[in-house]
Structure 1
Amino acid sequence: MNWRGLLDALLVRLGATIGAGRPVVPGWPPGALALAVLSVLVPPVWRVIRPVVTLVHELGHAGVGLLCGRRFSGFVISPDMSGHTVTVGRRHGPAVVLTAVAGYPMPALVGAAAIQAAVGGHAGAVLLAVLLILLGVLVRVRSLFTMAWVVALAAAVGALWWSGTPRWSAAAVVWLGAVLVVGAWRHLVAVAVHGDRDQDPGALARLTGVPAALWCLVMAVPVAACSWWAWRALAGPLGPLLGGALR
């Protein structure tokens, strides 16, 4: 294997990723957005892509837990596509509450940020960041199923980052961002309707004495704000098609 050639190619690809910045506004955003909505609403497709939303949900718990001084011990994505994250620290207090609240809004936050970056011409940087995060969290995986799923996702993201054109990379990132935003709503509405006490709102209710329904409303606020952010980020690409109604 020509390691020098591979290293040179890697440096060139990194330079192209870091140097990108020209807004990419072809005709792909409407199609990517429509496909994302269908991906979340069509049950067979949703079963395949749901782990993406679950993964961001669980890493949201982990990331906020770390910021609050807790220790991230590990996470699992189950074959039924649910997930579980373990952070270690005090069993009561603001850090526990913030860590628990973070899960459901995090996919919407990440999705909106990804859409904003893609519209601004930084889809390659998003793909590289996702790849590095996936590789980094492998040491915290606590099941073979989770390991296989994260490795497969990292391989797909890495291949797209390495060989994808700016247009395809941007379309993929907009699709992924929209899936995360719409998926965040689907997850939150599902837990609010079914009232599963084992989910985050139920756990917060037991921890604080505040009803789970109110915690669902608290989580809905940042999800709504991130949805608006994503919508506004797409105003430029979608505006001409909708006669400027988004502006």
Structure 2
Amino acid sequence: MWNELTATQVAPPLWLVALSGLAALALVSYPPSWHVLRGLITIAHEGGHALAAVLTRRKLRGIRLHSDTSGVTLTRGNPTGPGMVATAAAGYVAPSLIGLGASWLVAAGRITLLLWAVLVLLVCMLLMIRNFFGAVALLAVGGAVFALSWFAPPNVQGACAYAAVWFLLLGGVRPILELQTKRRHGRAPDSDADQLARLTRVPGALWVLLFLLVSTASLAAGAYLLSARWLPFEV
């Protein structure tokens, strides 16, 4: 099992890497597809809140995922302080940072390791889900990842892994832009950025800017990792 997990796969051709990136960009840019697939970004978002809460020793009470692609992570502990700030700040940057870590594994050919790491994270989230729709969503995503890792040939696994990583990197940026649009029109008074503003006295717009800087930097670094082996130079 360990040999299977740590085995490396041959990188797909450059045209397939580029095509998977274009496909992910189309899915993120096209409103109907984004409306359906945005829930995957929400899973990563709420997972980021949950992981930050656990790492800062806050008590994780539960996670809820909703059919409108929104979600909420409930924690218990000091309502102020570094732990609460880290927990609130982790959500919007989580999809991009997960995408960056996944791009490193994919670029190294560790496709199987990536798929099983995703399965472990989904199982951990499933244990904390507190609503029916959230449980169904995680089971559906986990079932698809398991089927891909168990039944799909290596070339299909590689193509899907590249597309998924591109989707995380690109999809991590759009919710931040949507957040600022909602804030500008007064439709997100309790957003993560506004909660952070109340916790730290740093304006919410600066928190949104920080989220955007992290996500765009992750996109740039992830894109380099995914295409580095074909570049004529090294950075």
Which amino acid is the alignment partner of residue 207 of structure 2?
Answer: W
- Superposition deviation, residue 237 in structure 1: 5.2
2:26 pairs with one of 6, 16, 38: 38
Letter in structure 2 aligned against 1:157: V
Q: 1:95 corresponds to which residue? A: 83
1:38, distance to aligned residue in structure 2 (A):
0.6
Give, in whole Å, the separation in 2 of the partners of 1:69 and 1:23.
40
Q: C-alpha deviations, 1:183-207, integer Å up to 9, x for none? A: 1110001101221122100111122
Residues in 1 aligned to 2:33 and 2:12: alpha-carbon distance in whole angstroms:
27
Amino acid of the structure 2 residue aligned with 1:88: R
Could you tell me which residue of structure 2 aligns to residue 233 of structure 1?
225
Query: Is residue 24 from structure 1 mapped to residue 11 from structure 2 by the alignment?
Result: yes
Q: Once the two structures are aligned, what percentage of the paired residues are identical?
A: 31
Measure, in 1, the Cα distance between the counterparts of 2:131 and 2:206: 33
1:76 aligns with 2:64: yes
Structure 1 residue runs of 4 or more that deviate by more than 3 Å after TM superposition: 244-247
Counterparts of 1:121 and 1:185 in 2: how far apart (Å)? Answer: 25
Deviations 1:137-179 (A, max 9, x none): 2111111001111001110000001012222112211111111
Q: 1:39 deviation in Å?
A: 0.8
Q: Secondary structure at the match of 2:69?
A: coil
Which has the larger Rg? 1
Q: Does 1:220 align with 2:220?
A: no
Q: Displacement of 1:93 after TM fit?
A: 0.5
Count of aligned pairs: 230
Distance 2:201 2:73 in 1: 22
Task: Verify: 1:105 aligned to 2:93, yes or no.
Answer: yes
* Native 8 Å contact 2:63 2:129 kept in 1: yes
TM-score by length of 2: 0.92
CA RMSD of aligned residues (A): 1.8
Structure 2 gaps of 5+ residues are: none
Distance 1:165 1:236, change over 3 A: farther
